[in-house]
Structure 1
Amino acid sequence: MNAFWSPAQQAFAQEVRRFTTENLHPETRRRVLAGRPLSREDHMRWQDALARKGWIAGFWPREYGGCDWTPAESYIFQNETSALGAPWLLPFGVNYVGPVIYTYGSPEQKEEHLPGIVSNEVFWCQGYSEPEAGSDLANLKTKAVRDGDVYIVNGSKIWTSYAHWADWIFALVRTDPEAKAQEGISFMLIDLRSPGIAIRPIVSIEGAHHLNQVFFEDVRVPVRNIVGEVNKGWTYAKYLLGHERVLSAEIGKARRLLERVRTLAAEAGLGRDTRFRDRFHRYEIDMLALEWTTLRLLDRVMNGGAAGAEASLLKLRGSSIIQQIVEFTVDVLGPRALPYDPAWIDHGVKMPVPDGAEHVGVVAEFLFQRAPTIWGGSNEIQRNIIAKHALGL
């Protein structure tokens, strides 16, 4: 139990652990702990349980279906559930577009979209990156041209996570092609059932399908689906990215992955090996340092301050530490990590895992974890943000 927490916060942590233990499906937990890709059913039955409890959007204001959680309670929830093997709470509705809508959206947009998010009945995806606008997001080319009471949207978005599961996409579109890069961009809500939308799967390096490219060809989107002011979408995009990066420390996941390394090392007879212990404890210290940095930031936010550029630090260090731990895990496995075939980890293919390949999920996770230092703004971009806004360079 973290001594930083008050008695009420410690009681909340106990409640989260009890709820997770009682409601997380054993097969979902097994897949998470093994590093296997999850099906839509895995995610949905966990999020349905959270929705029934009223916790799927716990940090939202009560008037919109949340619990008014403090930043500390949100942090406790994320870390306790992750440490127990719960799936990542897919953030696109709850953590990203929902707060944008209840902060900047019209009353009609709030009424139409927020209930479906807190009930887990409407699945969202995020349309930011494009083939020529990744980390340089302001260079996006997808355009929306007004035609009476609709916009005609043409272009494409890429690396769109779980678009093949989604009902709606929130997208940045260029509504004023003559404006400077960060101007002339609007924040738009698009129904993925609209005519003219095509979704093409992108199979990632570990062989799983969670990424997509989304194409828009003369898609008609009602004018009322612009959030906030036209051409002010960059403001809302930055607000959303702040939410995304604060979530990136993933202390609970790092702790769980470190414990798995300890177990695998003991099985391999490395538990008392000096080189193993030195590396293990260096990563453990890095994780603890990040945790306390996160707690200091939470303390500031709870006392009325803003996360600021330090959110980029959490994203930078959190993604790097997770990446280092999974690399370490593969090193500990040694030759046991060599057998690998994507068909063994894809839940859509019923191919049994052969003898000697029982750690295929660890390898899949190692490959997948190349991505967190790129998504949400690459770590190089985070370093630039820290240099400019935190260090004044």
Structure 2
Amino acid sequence: MDLRLSGELLSFRDEVRTWLRDNVPERPLAPVTTERGFAEHREWERRLAAAGLAAVHWPVEHGGRGLDALSASVFYDEYVRAGAPDRLGRLGLGLVGPTLMEWGTPRQRELLPAMLTCDDIWCQGFSEPDAGSDLASLRTRGEVGTDSIRINGQKVWTSHFRFATWIFALVRTDPEAPKHRGISYVLIPCDTPGVEFRPIRQMNDDAEFAELFLTDVEVPLENVVGGLGNGWKVAMSTLTHERSSNLNTAAHFHRVLRDAVALIPEARRNDSLVRYEVGRFHEEIEAYRFMTLRTLTEVSKGEKPGPQASMGKVWWSELQTRILEFALSMLASEAEVRSGGLPGATNLFKHYWMSRASHIYAGSNEIQRNIIAERVLGLPRSA
């Protein structure tokens, strides 16, 4: 494997590095959950869009750079290293946007420009109280009329709801069909009568998720993506885009580890066990980097990703949790009483609890392990 960047990639990397050096805010933006923070993050996204950097992996005709997976990875590595603000429009740029490029009508693709500038913010309506990992068991109903669908049901764990303007949701439009069929993928404006979000208060006192209640919500049939009853195939495309996003790069985990190291008390910095743990994490991050480079190289060549691609989600989610648990262990008893303002680790506790959630979203790790065992290793199904 040749790990050297080509001249073209080096030139692009230098362009991105220079732009980020000149444009990344000197001070952190306000929390995105606040009105001020949302406005600041949206203004940042507009600057990225004006520079052609909001979605470098999107085709040129849709406002992107048309870059392959390897080039996009170079961008995200530089973005993380520069300490740039967290992205605001992840669900639009990484999930529903690419899905509309693949399955959407020309009318539906008119929604793409507002995703780049975050004039529209998207949230996801997939999981339900009784349909999480077994998503095909969803019960939200969509009664099909002459030119519209009337939707009734409940979704849960809806993120990015606070400032969302659109929902992409799965609804059952044919209750007589097998459970993987009869499902439709629908785009719902958040200001439609009958749409209600109820924030879920978490154990860390945040409310980053919500329950979504849909009561006699009527949307036009032209908001169905991929045709009636074809929602499962469309949703699988969306989930593929989610799992192949470039947000969880090795550079990101090196930053998480750097923040964890900053919490090591002076008296323990020469402790051989502590040094061993830090070295081990560094080795794992580098192994993850090489694994992702292999997958990116295969995708860039138009090849089918090898079996290592199936391990990525389990690897990065559990690695991040273990690094953050190490950081908390360095604080010892102080981890139980200190909340914000920890030196070198902004929002450590929030990041830790979110890392636990990452074992569930984008496909629960238990399900991913079953897939690896059965489809990659060829092991028999459990009885």
* TM-score normalized by the length of structure 2: 0.91
- Name the structure 1 match of 2:8: 8
- Name the structure 1 match of 2:187: 189
Q: What are the Cα deviations for residues 177-216 of structure 1, in whole angstroms up to 9, with x where unaligned?
A: 1111211111110001000111111122322222111110
**AA matched with 2:106:** P
Counterparts of 2:126 and 2:105, CA distance in 1: 22
8 Å contact from structure 2 (residues 140, 151) kept in 1: yes
The answer as to 2:381 corresponding to 1:382 is: no
Higher relative contact order at CA 8 Å, sep ≥6: structure 1 or structure 2? 1
- State the Cα distance separating 1:386 from its structure 2 match: 1.6
What is the aligned counterpart of 2:243 among 245, 256, 263? 245
The answer as to 2:113 corresponding to 1:109 is: no
Counterparts of 2:38 and 2:21, CA distance in 1: 21
The answer as to 2:56 corresponding to 1:58 is: yes
Secondary structure, aligned partner of 2:143 = strand
**1:29–1:6 distance in 2 versus 1, CA, 3 Å:** farther
8 Å contact from structure 1 (residues 82, 252) kept in 2: yes
Counterparts of 1:69 and 1:127, CA distance in 2: 29
What is the aligned counterpart of 1:274 among 272, 275, 279? 272
Q: What are the Cα deviations for residues 239-274 of structure 1, in whole angstroms up to 9, with x where unaligned?
A: 111111122643221010111222322x53322210
- Name the structure 2 match of 1:259: 258
8 Å contact from structure 1 (residues 48, 120) kept in 2: yes
**1:226–1:41 distance in 2 versus 1, CA, 3 Å:** same
**1:334–1:46 distance in 2 versus 1, CA, 3 Å:** farther
- Name the structure 2 match of 1:171: 169
Counterparts of 2:222 and 2:352, CA distance in 1: 43
8 Å contact from structure 1 (residues 201, 213) kept in 2: yes
Secondary structure, aligned partner of 1:102 = helix
Counterparts of 1:94 and 1:114, CA distance in 2: 9
Identity within the alignment, %: 36
* 1:283-362 map, 5 Å: 283-307=281-305, 310-340=308-338, 361-362=347-348
- State the Cα distance separating 1:362 from its structure 2 match: 1.7
What is the aligned counterpart of 1:151 among 143, 149, 152? 149
Structure 2, unpaired ranges of 5+: none
8 Å contact from structure 1 (residues 171, 187) kept in 2: yes
8 Å contact from structure 2 (residues 158, 209) kept in 1: yes
- Name the structure 2 match of 1:349: none
CA RMSD of aligned residues (A): 2.4
8 Å contact from structure 1 (residues 140, 173) kept in 2: yes
- State the Cα distance separating 1:62 from its structure 2 match: 0.8
Secondary structure, aligned partner of 1:320 = helix
Counterparts of 1:392 and 1:42, CA distance in 2: 49
Counterparts of 1:284 and 1:29, CA distance in 2: 29
Secondary structure, aligned partner of 1:269 = helix
8 Å contact from structure 1 (residues 245, 312) kept in 2: no
* TM-score normalized by the length of structure 1: 0.89
Secondary structure, aligned partner of 2:20 = helix
Secondary structure, aligned partner of 2:28 = helix
- Name the structure 1 match of 2:23: 23
Secondary structure, aligned partner of 2:159 = coil
Counterparts of 1:138 and 1:386, CA distance in 2: 20
**AA matched with 2:353:** L
Secondary structure, aligned partner of 1:164 = coil
**AA matched with 1:15:** E
**AA matched with 1:106:** T
**1:64–1:360 distance in 2 versus 1, CA, 3 Å:** closer
Structure 1, unpaired ranges of 5+: 346-352
**AA matched with 1:182:** H
The answer as to 2:378 corresponding to 1:392 is: yes
Matched pairs, number = 374
- State the Cα distance separating 1:55 from its structure 2 match: 1.3
**Higher mean Cα deviation, 325-334 or 288-297?**
325-334
Counterparts of 1:103 and 1:358, CA distance in 2: 42
Q: What are the Cα deviations for residues 262-293 of structure 1, in whole angstroms up to 9, with x where unaligned?
A: 2322x533222100111111111111111100
Counterparts of 2:39 and 2:309, CA distance in 1: 32
**AA matched with 1:59:** H
**1:157–1:6 distance in 2 versus 1, CA, 3 Å:** same
- Name the structure 2 match of 1:215: 213
8 Å contact from structure 1 (residues 28, 42) kept in 2: no
Counterparts of 1:191 and 1:284, CA distance in 2: 44
- State the Cα distance separating 1:162 from its structure 2 match: 1.1
8 Å contact from structure 2 (residues 161, 210) kept in 1: yes
**AA matched with 1:375:** Y
